[in-house]
Structure 1
Amino acid sequence: MAIGDVEAVPNSTDVYYVDTGMYEVEHYGSVYLIDAEKPALIDTGIAADREHVFGMLDELGVDDLAYILPTHVHLDHAGGAGYLAERYPDATLMTHEIGAPHLVDPSRLVAGTKAAVEDQWRFYDEPLPIDEDRVESLTDGDEIDLGDRTLTVHHAPGHAPHQVMYHDDRDDLLFTGDALGIWEPRSRTLLQTSPPSQFHLEKALDDVRTIEDIDPETICFGHFGSRPYDDDLAAEYKRVLVEWVEAIRQKREELDDDEAVITHFVENTEMDEVWGVRKAQDEERLNVRGVLGYLDYIEDDE
């Protein structure tokens, strides 16, 4: 699968995803279409990659969207929302109630993203604001009627307080956003995602337990693509998270210098042969900074 390619989610009914080419990397960013009686798009990718999302919708003959449903408002999942809203004027945009105001006025979100992603901002376009009357808030337990199926909303605040997951009752798919980490299909590696400034380990582990309770047939990752779910996958991600945070805690204790901690993990990334040196190092830098912020937060809270 190459950038811009569209594939059907295995064992699904009219559910597809596109490789958005996020950060100019294959197999990193995916956006999903549920081509239901009331078609819905799950996530949007960053604004700069919107043409690949438009291309999927055109290729599949979707003339109208009923819903645009970011799992959360980080700009790699919701940055293209305003452009999609402009292209599909009858679509309703829905996301968690904490994040919904940022679709209407994305200025604070842009500032926070620039601070978090640093040099990666060059891959972004500015998001477009969306009229308030087109944006609806979601909360845990809400249901979205797509006509021939229902999506149930599950709050998943560990990665970000405005994150939700969507469970498709027809095909037993769970669209997890970043709640189950990053699935890299070529190396078959499950990786942590712990960006600043609101990553929270205990809440992230609770999100995985929510996934275990749902026990879906298939996981649809925001990064990247779909794969069958089993209990081993959830157990693996809990282990990945705990070991990742502990490794950073120990390295901080050893070096007593946060910049040195970041440099250590950046220089020792194991994903450079998969994503390329640039993206692999950017990913490490982002995720280490998120854990350092979390460690500061729990220390201040004690």
Structure 2
Amino acid sequence: MATDIGSVKEVTAGDCTDCYYLDTNMYDTEEYGAAYILDDDRPAVIETGLGTNHELILEALDELGIDCDDLAAIVVTHIHLDHAGGAGFLAEACPNADVYVPAPGAGLLVDPTRLVEGTKNAVGDQWEFYVDPKPIPEDRIVEIEDGDRISLGEHDLRVHGAPGHAFHQVVFEDPANSAVFVGDAAGIWIPETETMTETSPPSDFNLEECLEDVETLKSIDPDVLLYTHFGPRAVGDDAAEALDEYATVLSEWVEAVETKRAELEDDEAVMEYFAETTDKAEIWGERKARAEAIMNTRGVLGYLDHRD
């Protein structure tokens, strides 16, 4: 069932409490991009979207009775702009919030010039859905790394490194909810079909490290996976099975691209092949489905070049 754009939903998966999410209508696509709010002694926003629709997050805070001056934490799993693009806008609107950013990417949110250039190269004509990110003052940023903990009150966010999708990615364990904010470490969850699909964008995708990230998530053994793309998923006692399934999906995806490259011997033809054969058009619309397929194919091709 489609989510109302911007409407605040309580996370009821598992035994979660104090956790809410909203659909930010990322890429003008329903059920693709989520932002989360933990309503605790120190309220937090986890993941901030492209920035284009950051007002929806501010409206969600208002709906939950959280004043902008009271927001304590703006938290991103990594600096890709579909996760961190709204952080600067939220920081400006919420002057007392610290912005928690994985240390390897923090500087690129202080001066996002190179980040914007890289994003434009990665997403192509999808850039029209973005907005230039607002630089974040350095004194507002708290750099985080594996092993750190963000205390919010009843809930702590425990930081686990997860660099396979991007060298600057972490995931956040919320032990009180037996949940993990997975960023892109567990792929993309499609609620409509209850299936997982790959995410392998350029230029940092690394299959072996992604599979190690899956093992990290399995070691946490959460009851709930909180996907940025998209939404909460209760896995209960089957977390390992669900995560192993994603490892299989991702491995088979890389193998499919490698096989098609050997067959066609032309990378542009390989990308067009997967754009033409994507099965996501009925879910995300043809334009987004094609763009996603091309971007993920490019990421795998770059990984194969680096590996070889």
TM-score strictly above 0.5: yes
Q: Distance in 2 between matches of 1:15 and 1:25?
A: 23
Residue in structure 1 matched with residue 17 of structure 2 by the alignment: 13
Q: Distance in 1 between matches of 2:57 and 2:210?
A: 29
Unmatched segments (≥5 aa) in structure 1: none
Residue in structure 1 matched with residue 113 of structure 2 by the alignment: 107
Residue in structure 1 matched with residue 131 of structure 2 by the alignment: 125
Q: How does 1:223-234 map to 2 (within 5 A)?
A: 223-229=229-235, 230=238, 231-234=240-243
Q: How does 1:1-302 map to 2 (within 5 A)?
A: 1-10=3-12, 11-63=15-67, 64-229=70-235, 230=238, 231-299=240-308
Q: Distance in 2 between matches of 1:77 and 1:173?
A: 18
Q: Distance in 2 between matches of 1:170 and 1:37?
A: 14
Q: CA deviation at 1:66?
A: 0.6
Q: CA deviation at 1:159?
A: 0.4
Q: CA deviation at 1:200?
A: 0.2
Q: Secondary structure at the match of 1:237?
A: helix
Aligned residues of 1:142 and 1:153 also touching (Cα < 8 A): yes
Q: Could you list the per-position Cα deviations for residues 245-273 of structure 1 after superposition, in whole angstroms to 9, with x for gaps in the alignment?
A: 00000000001000000010000000001
TM-score w.r.t. the length of structure 1 is 0.98
Q: CA deviation at 1:136?
A: 1.2
Q: Could you tell which deviates more after superposition, 96-105 or 242-251?
A: 96-105
Identical pairs, percent:
53
Q: CA deviation at 1:105?
A: 0.7
Unmatched segments (≥5 aa) in structure 2: none
TM-score w.r.t. the length of structure 2 is 0.96
Give the CA RMSD over aligned residues: 0.7
Q: Could you list the per-position Cα deviations for residues 219-245 of structure 1 after superposition, in whole angstroms to 9, with x for gaps in the alignment?
A: 000100001122221111000010000
Paired residue total = 299
Q: Distance in 2 between matches of 1:279 and 1:55?
A: 26
Q: Secondary structure at the match of 1:98?
A: helix
Q: Which amino acid aligns with 2:134?
A: L
